[in-house]
């Protein structure tokens, strides 16, 4: 019998016992109520009988009084007594219904009464009237009374009534005895039954406590032990089979947790040891770097100093070739010094020795100084160099002056290094409590593929230009670290062949943590890539509407009214598309469109004209990408923007595969098809790339290190920002039917890789991607 059955039977007995007691008590109560009713009727019978006795006494007394006195007043109680007698007698008859014994007595009583009444009226009252009339003497009356006829009758009547009273009194008494007995019995039953029920309930409670509560308590205690990492004590078995099963499972689980924790501890220890080694190695590396840099810097300074001296003092007297040689020595030595300085900075940052020295100063002055210092860099190159500020007044800031200088010099020297033509602009702007310092150039630019890595240490873009100009690949990573130390962040926007714009955002007070946390928030939210749409329209209501429409679709809208320098703002923002009204306050939309399309920087940004005017043909002739007639619906707007961006930018493809050959091949194919692409070597890298920027399509291998394709798909589908990315699975794995089914449910296309037909696979793939997007 299991625990449930035992408890069921126990509680069943208790309930049955309670029902029995209840039924018994109810029956007894009913009987007692009836007995009380009967008692009431008996008491009434006795009362009525006594009333009859009183009425008779009144009649008798009246008749005697009249017999003695002859005064008619004495007859009044006699006749009144008769009235009362009749009344009580009839009530008694009513009460005695169904009581045969009393009914019999009443019949006899009435007969005798009538006889007595007749005798009293005929013999006593009538003859006394005759005495009053002088026809009879008092002696005759006395003789009649002395005959005792009346008395005998009355005695008999009284006997009958007393019998009735006695009989009823007896019944009353015996009923009372019965009631007492029944009451006592009920008391016994309730006490005994209640006691039994209580005893049983205690038994069941004890049983439950012993069989259920105790083991549960033990289990709770055991979970506490697990929480405190005490695994030795196992939970003891109890009598019940089911509970034992649970306890056994629990003990197994505890053993498993213990085993896993031990394993984890071993791994943690190993990891700690490794970490210590790594830290030690890093420390040694930094120390080595610092020592080496120092050792190298000293002789280098001498080399530069002496070379400068030689060039200055006797340069002109040297033959031209020697003169050139010396200039090369100086240039190379300067380059080496820069490299060493960078290494020294880097090692200081790494070792946590780089300190921030906050002070209050005028940011505009520092920018001016940097501008003057770097002016020489532009000389000799075919470059314009410009400096702009939002104000001519002082710009107060609390930060590290030297670091800001170094940040700007790094960015500017890159701008000059990577530009052969165009303009380099250094500008500053203020938004709320943040300063936006921009270094913008029109140089070689950075490809989308490389832009994510330029801040990595020792990372240089692999290209002939970079090789030509040289460098360490440390400048930007140091710059980024400096900016972060100042509580700010750095952003970059660049187009290959068209130029770059680096923006350093700094708080006006380095000690103001609120800004830092605000920027942190910003950074987190920028994990999901939003396409930027610039909306140029002077009607604030339209702007509000555009914002509402587009914010639902992962677009970031930037509103321009047309009063500002639209071209400059667009240059800074580098939007993914522009929504342009025609009737604007300063320049009209046509003018802006023509400027956008004639500027190398902006000509590729899709422009969608939106106006109440119907000028579609003119717009297309002026190279607008799309034309919308206002009012525009949300669907129309979103659909048009998406279509134009896709048309302009091609399809952004992310390829995830651990096979480098396949990645290379895919890269070449996608390049030939002029599709922007990114490559990821394992599952984890795929997710990271996707979160950095959502691709238009993901080409995914199934067997990969770190995270396999199935896990990657699962993670993608669970993340709101990327879950709808189309996925094309390309795999060499022989998929089982179940796997195929699972993949078909969650992906768009599955293509099997085969070494022999790799080219064909690639072509099919590219074709499929194109088809898919042209149909979309």
Residues interacting with ligand ADP, by CB under 6 A? 414-415, 418, 441, 443-446, 454, 460-461, 466, 471-477, 500
Q: Which token pair is 106? A: 């009443």
Query: For ligand ADP, which residue has the nearest CB?
Result: 471
> How many other C-beta atoms can be found within 10 angstroms of the C-beta atom of residue 288?
11
CA distance 604 to 598: 10
Residue identified by tokens 């240039």 is 331
Q: Which residue from 555, 511, 561 is spatially nearest to 537, judged by alpha carbons?
A: 561
Q: Are 343 and 289 in contact (CB under 8 A)?
A: yes
- Choose between 77 and 475: whose C-beta lies nearer to ligand ADP: 475
Q: Of the two residues 20 and 373, which places its CB atom closer to ligand ADP in the complex?
A: 373
Nearer CB in complex with ligand ADP: 474/765: 474
Q: What is the DSSP string of 6-72?
A: HHHHHHHHHHHHHHHHHHHHHHHHHHHHHHHHHHHHHHHHHHHHHHHHHHHHHHHHHHHHHHHH--G
The angle at the Cα of 625, spanning 622 to 629, to the nearest 5 degrees, equals 90
Q: Which is nearer to ligand ADP, 307 or 460 (CB)?
A: 460
Query: Which lies closer to ligand ADP via its Cβ, residue 383 or residue 651?
Result: 383
Q: How far apart are CA 238 and CA 220, in angstroms?
A: 15
**Measured CA angle at 204 (ends 199, 209), to 5 deg:** 125
Q: What is d(CA 3, CA 210) in angstroms, rounded to the nearest whole number? A: 12
Which C-beta is closer to ligand ADP: that of 48 or that of 441?
A: 441
Helices (H) and strands (E) in the chain, counts: 25, 17
Nearest to 307 by CA among 333, 270, 281, 288: 333
Q: Which residue, 286 or 410, has its beta carbon nearer to ligand ADP?
A: 410
Task: Provide the 10 A C-beta neighbour count for residue 233.
Answer: 12
CB of 484 to ligand ADP, least distance (A): 15
**Judged by CB, which is closer to ligand ADP: 471, or 683?**
471
Give the helix/strand (H/E) hosting 262: helix 241-314
Q: Answer for the pair 78, 58: CB distance below 8 angstroms, yes or no.
A: yes
Please report how close the Cβ of residue 604 comes to ligand ADP at its closest, in angstroms.
18
CB of 415 to ligand ADP, least distance (A): 5
- For ligand ADP, which is the closer residue by CB, 446 or 749? 446
Smallest gap from Cβ 670 to ligand ADP, in A, equals 22
Minimum CB distance to ligand ADP, residue 591 (Å): 30
- Which residue's CB is nearer to ligand ADP, number 499 or number 709? 499
Residue 351 near residue 289, CB atoms below 8 Å = no
Structure tokens at 583: 């009737």
- The nearer residue to ligand ADP, 494 or 644, going by C-beta atoms, is 494
Angle between helices 75-95 and 3-69 (to 10 degrees): 160
Question: Closest separation between CB of residue 474 and ligand ADP, Å?
Answer: 6
| Closer Cβ to ligand ADP, 415 or 579, answer by number | 415
Measured CA to CA, the distance from residue 197 to residue 193 in angstroms comes to 6
The rounded distance, in Å, linking the Cα atoms of 217 and 213 is 6
Distance CA 261, CA 694 (A): 38
Nearer to ligand ADP, 407 or 645 (CB): 407
| CA within 13 Å, CB half, 60 | 19
From the CB of 443, what's the least distance to ligand ADP, in Å? Answer: 5
Give the span between the Cα atoms of 723 and 87, in whole angstroms: 104
- Is residue 129 helix, strand or coil? helix
Contact 357, 404 (CB under 8 A): no
Q: How far is the CB of 310 from ligand ADP (least distance, A)?
A: 28
Return the number of the residue (396 or 463) whose C-beta is nearest ligand ADP: 463
Indicate the residue among 432 and 462 with the shorter CB distance to ligand ADP.
Answer: 462
Please state the closest distance from residue 473 (CB atom) to ligand ADP, in A. 4
Residue whose C-alpha is closest to residue 108's, from 67, 157, 173, 154: 157
Cβ of residue 403: shortest distance to ligand ADP, in angstroms?
Answer: 16
Tell which residue, 683, 677, 676, has the closest CA to residue 658: 683
Q: How far apart are the first and last CA of the chain?
A: 66
Complex with ligand ADP: residue 250 or 416, whichever CB lies closer: 416
Nearer to ligand ADP, 339 or 690 (CB): 339
Distance in angstroms (rounded) separating the CA atoms of residues 523 and 515: 12
- What is the Cα Rg of the chain in Å? 58
Q: Are 589 and 611 in contact (CB under 8 A)?
A: yes
Does residue 167 contact residue 16 with C-beta atoms inside 8 Å? no
Rounded least distance, CB 451 to ligand ADP, Å: 9
Rounded CA-CA distance 380/361 in Å is 33
Q: What does the alpha-carbon distance between residue 157 and residue 186 come to, in Å, rounded to a whole number?
A: 43
Least distance in angstroms from the C-beta of 448 to ligand ADP: 13
**Nearest distance from residue 762's CB to ligand ADP, in Å?**
29
Q: Give the burial class of 566: count Cβ atoms within 10 A of its Cβ; 0-12 exposed, 13-18 middle, 19 or more buried.
A: buried
CB of 414 to ligand ADP, least distance (A): 3
| 3-state helix, strand and coil shares in percent for the chain, rounded to the nearest 5 | 65, 10, 25
Work out how close the CB of 327 gets to ligand ADP at its nearest, in angstroms, rounded to a whole number.
Answer: 22
Q: How far apart are CA 427 and CA 425, in angstroms?
A: 6
Q: Tell me the closest approach of the beta carbon of residue 225 to ligand ADP, in angstroms.
A: 55
Yes or no: say if 87 and 94 are a contact pair by the CB < 8 Å rule. Answer: no
Q: Which is nearer to ligand ADP, 98 or 458 (CB)?
A: 458
Q: How far is the CB of 757 from ligand ADP (least distance, A)?
A: 38
Cα 533 to Cα 536, 630, 639, 776: the distances in Å are 10, 18, 13, 21
CB of 477 to ligand ADP, least distance (A): 6
3-class DSSP assignment, residue 423: strand
């Amino acid at each position: 019998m299991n625990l449930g059955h035992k408890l069921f039977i126990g509680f069943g007995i208790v309930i049955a016992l309670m029902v029995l007691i209840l039924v018994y008590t109810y029956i007894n109560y009913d009987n007692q109520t009836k007995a009380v009713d009967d008692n009431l009727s008996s008491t009434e019978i006795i009362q009525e009988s006594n009333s009859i006795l009183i009425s008779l006494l009144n009649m008798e007394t009246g008749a005697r009084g009249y017999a003695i006195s002859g005064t008619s007043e004495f007859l009044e109680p006699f006749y009144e007594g008769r009235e009362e007698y009749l009344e009580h007698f009839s009530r008694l008859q009513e009460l005695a219904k169904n009581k045969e014994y009393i009914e019999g007595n009443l019949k006899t009583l009435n007969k005798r009464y009538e006889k007595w009444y007749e005798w009293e009226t005929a013999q006593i009252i009538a003859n006394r009237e005759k005495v009053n009339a002088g026809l009879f003497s008092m002696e005759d009356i006395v003789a009649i009374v002395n005959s005792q006829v009346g008395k005998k009758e009355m005695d008999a009547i009284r006997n009958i009534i007393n019998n009735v009273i006695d009989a009823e009194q007896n019944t009353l008494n015996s009923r009372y005895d019965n009631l007492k007995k029944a009451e006592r019995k009920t008391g016994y039953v309730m006490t005994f039954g209640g006691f039994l029920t209580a005893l049983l309930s205690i038994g069941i409670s004890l049983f439950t406590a012993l069989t259920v509560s105790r083991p549960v308590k033990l289990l709770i205690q055991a979970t506490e032990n697990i929480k405190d990492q005490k695994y030795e004590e196992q939970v003891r078995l109890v009598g019940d089979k089911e509970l034992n099963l649970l306890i056994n499972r629990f003990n197994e689980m505890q053993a498993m947790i213990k085993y896993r924790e031990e394993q984890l501890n071993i791994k943690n220890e190993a990891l700690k040891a490794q970490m210590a080694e790594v830290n030690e190695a890093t420390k040694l590396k930094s120390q080595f770097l610092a020592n080496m840099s120092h050792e190298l810097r000293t002789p280098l300074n001498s080399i530069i100093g002496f070379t400068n001296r030689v060039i200055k003092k006797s340069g002109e007297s040297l033959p031209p070739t020697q003169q050139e040689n010396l200039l090369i020595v100086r240039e190379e030595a300067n380059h080496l010094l820069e490299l060493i300085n960078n290494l020294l900075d880097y090692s200081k940052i790494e070792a946590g020795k780089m300190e921030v020295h906050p002070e209050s100063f005028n940011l505009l002055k520092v920018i001016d100084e940097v501008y003057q210092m770097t002016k020489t860099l532009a000389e000799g190159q075919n470059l314009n160099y410009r400096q702009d500020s939002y104000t001519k007044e002082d710009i107060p800031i609390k930060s590290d002056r030297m670091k800001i200088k170094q940040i700007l010099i790094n960015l500017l020297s890159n701008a000059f290094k990577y530009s052969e033509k165009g303009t380099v602009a250094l500008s500053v702007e203020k938004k709320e409590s943040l300063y936006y310092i921009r270094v913008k150039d029109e140089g070689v630019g950075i490809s989308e593929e490389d832009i994510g890595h330029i801040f990595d240490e020792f990372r240089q873009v692999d290209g002939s230009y970079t090789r030509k100009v040289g460098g360490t690949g440390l400048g930007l990573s140091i710059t980024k670290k400096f900016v972060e130390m100042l509580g700010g962040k750095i952003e970059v926007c660049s187009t290959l062949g068209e130029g770059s714009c680096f923006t350093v955002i700094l708080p006006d007070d380095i000690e103001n943590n609120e800004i830092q946390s605000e920027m942190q928030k910003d950074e987190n939210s920028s994990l999901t890539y939003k396409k930027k749409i610039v909306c140029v329209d002077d009607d604030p209501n339209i702007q509000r509407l555009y914002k509402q429409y587009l914010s639902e679709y992962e677009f970031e809208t930037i509103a321009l009214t047309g009063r500002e320098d639209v071209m400059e703002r667009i240059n800074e923002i580098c939007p993914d598309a522009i929504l342009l009204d025609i009737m604007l306050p300063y320049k009209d939309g046509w003018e802006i469109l023509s400027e956008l399309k004639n500027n190398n920087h902006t000509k590729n940004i899709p422009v969608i004209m939106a106006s109440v005017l119907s000028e579609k043909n003119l717009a297309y002739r002026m190279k607008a990408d799309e034309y919308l007639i206002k009012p525009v619906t949300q669907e129309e707007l979103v659909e048009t923007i998406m279509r134009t961006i896709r048309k302009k930018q091609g399809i952004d493809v992310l390829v995830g595969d651990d096979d480098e050959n396949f990645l290379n091949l895919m890269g070449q194919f996608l390049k030939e098809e002029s599709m922007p692409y990114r490559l990821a070597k394992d599952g984890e890298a795929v997710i990271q790339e996707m979160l950095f920027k959502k691709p238009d399509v993901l080409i995914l291998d199934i067997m990969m290190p770190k995270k396999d394709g199935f896990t990657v798909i699962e993670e993608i589908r669970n993340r709101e920002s990327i879950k709808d990315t189309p996925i094309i699975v390309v795999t060499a794995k022989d998929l089982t039917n179940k796997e195929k089914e699972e993949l078909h449910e969650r992906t768009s296309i599955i293509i099997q890789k085969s070494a022999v037909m790799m080219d064909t696979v690639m072509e099919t793939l590219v074709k499929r991607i194109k088809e898919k997007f042209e149909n979309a």
